[in-house]
Amino acid sequence: MKLSPEEARRRIEELREQIEQHNYNYFVLNQPTISDAEYDKLLRELQTLEEQFPQFKSPTSPTQRVGAPPQTQFKTVRHSLPMLSLANAFSDDEVREFDARVKKLAERDQIEYVAEPKFDGLAVELVYEDGVFVLGSTRGDGETGEDVTANLKTIKSIPLKLRTDLPIPKRLEVRGEVYMEIEDFRKLNEAREEAGEPLFANPRNAAAGSLRQLDPTITAQRRLHMFCYDVGQTVGIEFHSQEELLETLPRYGLRVCPIYRVCKNIDEALEFYREMQERREELPYETDGVVIKVNDFRIREMVGEVSRNPRWAIAYKFPPKQATTRVKDIIVQVGRTGKLTPVAVLEPVPLGGVTVQHATLHNQDEIDKKDIRIGDWVLIQRAGDVIPEVVQPIVSRRTGAEKPFTMPERCPVCGDRVIRLPDEVDYRCVNISCPARLKESILHYASKGAADIEGLGERWVEALMNAGLVKEIPDLYRLKERLLELMRLERMGAKLAENLLNAIEKSKKISLARFIYGLGIRHVGEHLAELLAQRFRSLEALMSASEEELLTVEEVGPTVAQSIFSFFRDERNREMIRKLREAGVQIIEEISPHKAGALAGKTFVFTGTLKHFTRSQAEAAVKARGARVSSSVSRKTDYVVAGEEPGSKLERARALGVTVLSEEEFRQLIEEG
C-alpha cells in the first residue's frame, strides 16, 4: 500500500520511537522484548521509508548510526572541563592512606564512597545539546581529544537523543568507557587470523583500534559497548552525588554498569574490591581494578584535585595479568584445518590466578616480527585469551645462547608435507587424515557452540582415538554399541560412561546453525553459521549452493564462498554428513518467517537442569520458532521452563504470574509451535 507523505511521516516517527525504545530495553534495562529478526524488520522498514521520503530524514534517526563517509584524519576537540586521570593504588594500605587524606581535607570522621569496576577500555565524552547527541571525543591528553562522533554513533548502547521522561538539559556532557566484550574480542581475532590480518593484543586495544577507524562502517562491524560513569559540563541539570548520577543517567537512556556499591566507609569499599577480584574472570568484559569515589559532590569540591588527578577518587588496581618467564622450547600444534600454530613452552609462572606453562606465538611472521627465540626471557600476558601470549622478548637479558625458530617442513604429528599458500601467513599440514586434525575436529564438533557434548574434552577424545573407538566424528554416535570397550578406558567407569553416552545422545538434535558451525568449515564461525542457516534454511540447500549464491550472504566474500563451496564438494565431507544422519543426528532446520507459529515473538526463560535437552538445544529450539530467550524473569516473560533443581527464577515467575512449564510441557509446546 502506497503511503501519503503525511502517513509516511507518522509511520517514520512511530518506527523511530519503537526502535529507540527497543535499544533502551536491550542495552540499558537488559530486558529485550523482541527478537533480533523483529528488530531488523523494523529497522529495514524505517530505512525503506526514509529512502522513499527523504524529506523526513533526521540525524537522530536510528538509521543514521552508520553512513558517514570515511575521514582522512580526526579533528581535535577541546573538552569543556578536563578529563582527569586517576591516581592508582596497589595495596590496602595505599587505599587507607587515600581515605585518611580525604577525611583530613574534608574535616570528616567518616566518608561515604561509591565503588565501581574499573573498565579496561577507551575513555570518551558524549555531548548532548537539547537532548541530541552532537559531539563525541576520546579523552586524549585530558585537555583535548579526537572527534570520533561518527564512530560513536554506530554503538547502539549510545542514544542519539535522550529519552524524554525527564526534563531535557540544555547541555549534558557524559563520560564513560567504550569497551569490547571478551567473547567478541576472541571472535574478532579468530576472523583476523583466518584472514591473515594482525591480531589485537587484548580487548582494550581492539576497542581503541575499532573506535579510531577513519571509516565508520568498519567500526559498525565491531561489537562495541559503552558504560557511562561521570559527567563534565552540565546546563539545566545538577547532580549532588555519584549515587544520584548513576541512578539518573539510565532514565535518559544512558547505560551505566549495574555492578556498583554505595559504601559507608573504606572497609566496605575494600570488601567490594575483593569481591570484584574474585568475580573478574566471570565477567563478559575486562576489568583491571575498582574505582573508589567520594559519593557526595560537595565533599569532592572541598577535597579538590592536584595536578591532573582528583583527590576524591582512586583506582585500586588488580594484580597484573602480565609476568616475566623464560621460553624453554617452541613446539608446534596442529589444528582441525591443518594449521600449524607455534606455542612457547615456558618455565611455570603464576599469572592471573593460574600457573602458566604455555603461550601462543600465533605464526612464523609474528615470531619474526617480535624476534622471539628459544631461551629468551619474555613478557607474557593474559587478556581475554584462554592461552596467554608472548608480548615481547627481554632483549637485555640475552646471553647469546638463544636459538631462532623456524616452522618445520613436515607435520610434527603425521610427518606429511607442510605448505604455505602465497596469500596466507599460516603453514598447513596437507594430510586430511592427520590424527591431530581429527582430534581438533572432534573437539570442535563437541564444543558448546556446536553439538555441545558435555564432558567430551581433550582427555577423553585422545583416549577414544588411542583405543581405536573413534576414527571419525560419526563414530561418537556408535559408542553405545561398544559400551564394554568404552568402560575399559582408564578411569572411565560405568557412571562416567553412562553420562558421556547420555550427553552424546542429547546432541543428536541440533540446530542447523550449530551443525554448520560444528562441521569446522574454514572461515565459518558461529555468527556466519547463523547467517548461512537463515539464508539457506536447510542443509541440502546449503550443500548445493553455488559460489554465486553464497556471495549473496551478508559478510561472505570470495575467499569464504570458495571455502564453503569446496568443503561441500569434497566427497569425504559429504560422506561424513551422511554417516552422521545414519547415526541418528537430526538437524533442526530454520523456519521461514511466514511459517513461524504461535511462539513467534514469545519470551522464554530457562531454569534448572533439563533431562532431554541441553540448555543450548532448548534455546535453539525456541529461537528456530521465532521466539527469544532471556536470562531474567519479568512481567514481559511469556514462559519459564523449569527443569530439575530450579533456582530463584521459578519463585519470581510464580510471584509475577508467569506461565511455568515442565520439560514435558515445553517439549509439547515446541512441537506444536
* Cβ(591)–Cβ(533) below 8 Å: no
Give the torsion sign (CA, 229, 231, 236, 242): positive
Kindly give the pairing relationship between strand 639-642 and strand 659-661. parallel
Among the listed residues 103, 118, 264, 579, the single catalytic one is 118
Q: Which of 648, 629, 668, 658 has the alpha carbon at shortest distance from 34?
A: 629
Q: d(Cα 673, Cα 669) in Å, to the nearest integer?
A: 6
The long-range contacts involving 272-278, CB below 8 angstroms and separated by at least 24 positions, are 272/115, 273/95, 273/115, 273/316, 276/117, 277/318
Active-site residue, 118 included: yes
Q: d(Cα 49, Cα 4) in Å, to the nearest integer?
A: 11
Q: What is the 3-state secondary structure (H, E, C) of 115-169?
A: EEEEECCEEEEEEEECCEEEEEEECCCCCEEEECHHHHCCCCCCCCECCCCCCCC
Using alpha carbons, list the distances in angstroms from residue 648 to 259, 359, 665.
Answer: 20, 40, 20
Kindly give the pairing relationship between strand 628-629 and strand 659-661. unpaired
Q: d(Cα 416, Cα 375) in Å, to the nearest integer?
A: 28
Q: d(Cα 572, Cα 594) in Å, to the nearest integer?
A: 36
Residue with C-alpha cell 607442510?
A: 418
Kindly give the pairing relationship between strand 132-138 and strand 224-235. unpaired
Q: Which residues pair with 628 in a beta bridge?
A: 603
Q: d(Cα 612, Cα 644) in Å, to the nearest integer?
A: 11
The string of DSSP letters for 179-209 reads EE-HHHHHHHHHHHHHTTPPPPSSHHHHHHH
Burial class (CB within 10 angstroms; exposed 0-12, middle 13-18, buried 19+) of 133: buried
Write out the catalytic residue numbers. 118
